Amino acid sequence: MDQFLFTIKSAINQLELKQPRYAPIYYILTGSLMFSINSMFSKMISHIPSPQIVFYGAMIMCLINFAVTSTQNIRLYGFALDIYKKLFMRSIFGYFGTICFYKGIMQVSVSEGQVLIRTSPL
């Protein structure tokens, strides 16, 4: 895991040093590509209930986040109470938004779902 993170970090540093003006464009294109791949895989498993998809995705992200925060010694606790309230509200809204995304992908084609996600303000 450390070698993988080191490789990604060095590639990002090289990109930002060699082409600092175009680095944000690469980030946006990479994010769009990953989001489209996520939609494609979500459509492939549309027979599974969307809360179950969100739950297992959250479990995988918890493991990845734990690995990253433990290797980089990032402090997770000890903030003010209002920050925890904001994080809780963000997680609730994110949960319902993700549920709606997977429900929408199950109902329409992937291309229509991408257009809806990209053009909606939320």
Give the max Cα distance, the chain. 45
Digit-coded pLDDT (tens) for 21-60: 888 888 888 888 887 787 788 778 878 887 888 888 889 9
d(CA 51, CA 60): 14
Residues 6+ apart with CB under 8 A from 116: 104, 108
Digit-coded pLDDT (tens) for 64-121: 888 888 888 887 777 788 888 998 999 899 888 888 877 877 788 777 777 777 776 6
Residues 6+ apart with CB under 8 A from 45: 53
The b-or-e profile of 43-58 (16+ CB within 10 A means b, else e) is: eeebeeebeebbeeee
Verdict on whether the full-model pTM lies above 0.95: no
